Amino acid sequence: MGAGLLAQTEKIAARRAVALSVVVPCYNEIGGVAELYRRVTAVCREQAGHSYEIVLVIDGATDGTREAIFELAKQDSHVLGIDLARNYGHQIALSAGLEFCRGQRILILDADLQDPPELLKAMMAKMDEGFDVVYGQRVKRQGEGWFKRATAALFYR
């Protein structure tokens, strides 16, 4: 067992409940993981003070994402890196993150920043209104071709 993985295992065992968990499946996100971390951290601090965790699930990444996430976790105790043995896909990675998170409230975000982390504030506001489940759906699908827009319209109708 590598030192990074051992440190993460010890971190998991010692964790306590937090007010907010943000779970993010990550596959080959080396180009954006630092920006993701910076923006999600800002939202978490604003919404939950210091009672939060960012659970980054490494889904078989091969581009340095794993090392970058473990470095973030080493520097920031709010970050937990979960390293899957191989690429299992988005849903399995998400399930793994949900299994390990400890938040009283749990938010899910994709790592590619397609949806701005700042939208999590609006989701938290809806939770404050008493909603148990909150999800977002893009209304404007700018920059996507007609086929993608048509299939999305069929899926979300």
- Please report which confidence band the pLDDT of residue 150 belongs to, taking 50, 70 and 90 as the band edges: confident
What gap in Å lies between CA 132 and CA 118, rounded to an integer?
20
CATH class name, domain 3-155: alpha beta
- What pLDDT does 130 receive? 92
Instruction: Please indicate whether residue 132 or residue 88 has the higher confidence score (pLDDT).
Output: 88
Sketch the domain layout of the chain as residue ranges: 3-155
- Residue 4 backbone dihedrals phi, psi, to 5 degrees: -65, -45
**pLDDT, position 132:** 87
The confidence score (pLDDT) of residue 156 equals: 60
Mean of per-residue pLDDT scores for the chain: 87
* pLDDT at residue 115 in the model: 87
Beta bridge partners of 24: 56
Q: Put the strands of the sheet holding 103-108 in their side by side order.
A: 79-83, 52-58, 18-26, 103-108
pLDDT confidence of residue 50:
92
Q: Three-class SS string for the chain?
A: CCHHHHHHHHHHHHCCCEEEEEEEEECCCCCCHHHHHHHHHHHHHHHHCCCEEEEEEECCCCCCHHHHHHHHHHHCCCEEEEECCCCCCHHHHHHHHHHHCCEEEEEECCCCCCCCHHHHHHHHHHHHCCCCCCCCCCCCCCCCCHHHHHHHHHHCC
Question: Is the model more confident about 95 or about 134?
Answer: 95
Q: Provide mean pLDDT across the span 56-79.
A: 96
